[in-house]
Structure 1
Amino acid sequence: MTGKVYLVGSGPGGLGLMTFRAREVIDKADVILYDQLPGDEILASLPDVEKVDVGKYGSMHTKEQDEIERLMVKYAQEEKTVVRLKGGDPFLFGRGGEEMETLRKFGIQCEMVPGVTSGIAVPECVGIPVTHRSFASQVTFLTGHEDPSKPESAINWKWLAESPGTIVVYMGVKNLAKIADALIANGMTAEKPVAIIENGLRPNQRVTVGTLKTIAAIAAERKVKPPSIIVIGEVVSLYRE
Structure 2
Amino acid sequence: MIKERVEDGIVIITLSHGATNSITLDTLRQMDAIVKKVNEDDALKGIVLTGDGRFFSSGFHLPDFIGFQSHEEAVAWFEEEEELLTNFFTCEKPVVSAINGHCAAAGLIWSFAADYRLVKNHPKIRMGMSEIKIGLPLSIAQYHVVRYGLNDDRTYRNVMFFGEMIGVEKALEIGMVDEIVEEDQLIERAKQIVTSWIDTPNRPFLVMKKMMRLDTADSIRNRLASEPWRDGFDIFTKPEVRGTLEFVQSMMEGKN
Does the pair score TM above 0.5? no
Instruction: Looking at secondary structure, tell me which structure has more strand per residue.
Output: 1
Q: TM (normalized to structure 1)?
A: 0.28
Q: TM (normalized to structure 2)?
A: 0.27
The structure with the larger Rg is 1
